[in-house]
Structure 1
Amino acid sequence: MAIKSLRILCDIELPEETIRVWDGSGGPFIDLDGNRYRPAQFTEDALQSIEAAINGEAYTLALSLISVTQSAADSIWDYDETTSVQGSPFVLKLQFMDDTEQPDGDPIVVFTGEIDNLDVADESSADGIKSVVNLEVTNLFTLRTVTNGAVLSDVDQRARSAVLNPSAADDQFCKRVPLMRDATIKWPNW
């Protein structure tokens, strides 16, 4: 069977439950493991953030879920007030679908992180009140920057790398970058 489409799946592992959503409308989506994903709609900015995160260009992922019912948004806000969701794991996956819109293989994990902030905003329009749930998710690369915006020193980077990847070899990134200054780029001669 040929792959016809893909679905963006999000697993939000809160302290007491796991919320699963997929980008789209319609009914729920059931994956191969039997997990049920609720439909949600991401804003256009959220889809661009997801694209940047998948391409490794972002270390912070900002998601905004629109078309959330006011009761669901209220329950999310109440939950965050009683049990902090900060630090909860977040997983973003891509699920390929076959020509019958059934899952084709296991989903591919493309971004993992922790929830840094959550807020709920209500917007009123002629159609009524719509709620927007905003999530800010950070991953381990956030640790590369210091609060004042400066980049970590070589010593700090090596120490941080040893903590994050204890089984990896010593981080040589800061030693190799200055060597690139003296390298010559040779363009192909067509």
Structure 2
Amino acid sequence: MAIKSLRVLCRIEFPSKTFRMWDGAGPYLDANGDIWVGARLTEGLDQIESAMNGEASTLMLSMSGVDQAVSDLAYEDMEAGEVIDAKVQLLIQPCDEWDQPVGDPEVKFTGFVDNMPSDDSVSGDQVVSTLVLEVRNRFDLRTLVSGAVLSDVDQRARSKVLNPGAPADRFAERIPGLVDKQIVWPRFS
């Protein structure tokens, strides 16, 4: 089967429940029998693309038109202190010419919630809920204060804590070898 379209899916794993949302209208039933609720990703589509391409270490994800029951549960979890560090995944689901899923969705971004401000507004006689997720991923911890030095040992320890099943982060392994290096600028005559 040929892939004709893609769906952007967002899975949020709170301790009490897993929320599944997709960028569209109405419910969506996947091949595993899970129901994904329709929501509009109103802001941050360029941020989503950057996050999926590995170019962003943080993500601001805004979802409008979220079902009231989902919004209420998210608010209750926020009040209970269960939202911070909840796992967020952005997935891509390939679809055929009839918008039916082809294969399993592919995880493109995994991060953890830092904050979740929400807003409810009234449109006519309906309440429109908007959730904003401020999400960080494991590379967010690479940022340093001014003047600090990133060490290989520290980076490997961070990666072991943040992603225990993955190979060690080798990002800074050449840093110790650069300590005694001298850079000589070319002299042009």
TM-score norm. by structure 2 comes to 0.78
Which residue of the partner structure matches residue 151 of structure 2? 154
Greater share of residues in helix: 1
Which residue of the partner structure matches residue 19 of structure 2? 19
Instruction: Please give the alpha-carbon distance, in whole angstroms, between the structure 2 residues aligned to 1:49 and 1:143.
Output: 18
Contact kept, 8 Å, 2:9 with 2:90, in 1: the verdict is: yes
Report the identity percentage. 42
Contact kept, 8 Å, 2:8 with 2:90, in 1: the verdict is: yes
For structure 1, the residue ranges without an aligned partner over 5 or more in a row are: 183-190
Instruction: Please give the alpha-carbon distance, in whole angstroms, between the structure 2 residues aligned to 1:70 and 1:162.
Output: 38
> Could you give the per-residue CA deviations for residues 24-63 of structure 1, whole angstroms, max 9, x where no partner exists?
11x21111111110100011x3211110101111111111
Which residue of the partner structure matches residue 33 of structure 1? 32
Residues 26-175 of structure 1: matches in 2 within 5 Å? 27-43=26-42, 45-68=43-66, 72-123=70-121, 130-146=128-144, 148=145, 153-155=150-152, 156-161=154-159, 163=161, 164=163, 168=167, 171=170, 173=172, 175=174
Contact kept, 8 Å, 2:19 with 2:70, in 1: the verdict is: no
Alpha-carbon offset, residue 90 of structure 1:
1.3
Alpha-carbon offset, residue 84 of structure 1:
2.0
Instruction: Please give the alpha-carbon distance, in whole angstroms, between the structure 1 residues aligned to 2:24 and 2:148.
Output: 38
TM-score norm. by structure 1 comes to 0.78
> Could you give the per-residue CA deviations for residues 113-143 of structure 1, whole angstroms, max 9, x where no partner exists?
1111111123456787533111111111111
Contact kept, 8 Å, 2:159 with 2:168, in 1: the verdict is: no
For structure 2, the residue ranges without an aligned partner over 5 or more in a row are: 185-189
Change (3 A) 1:134 1:161: closer
Q: Aligned residue pairs: how many? A: 178
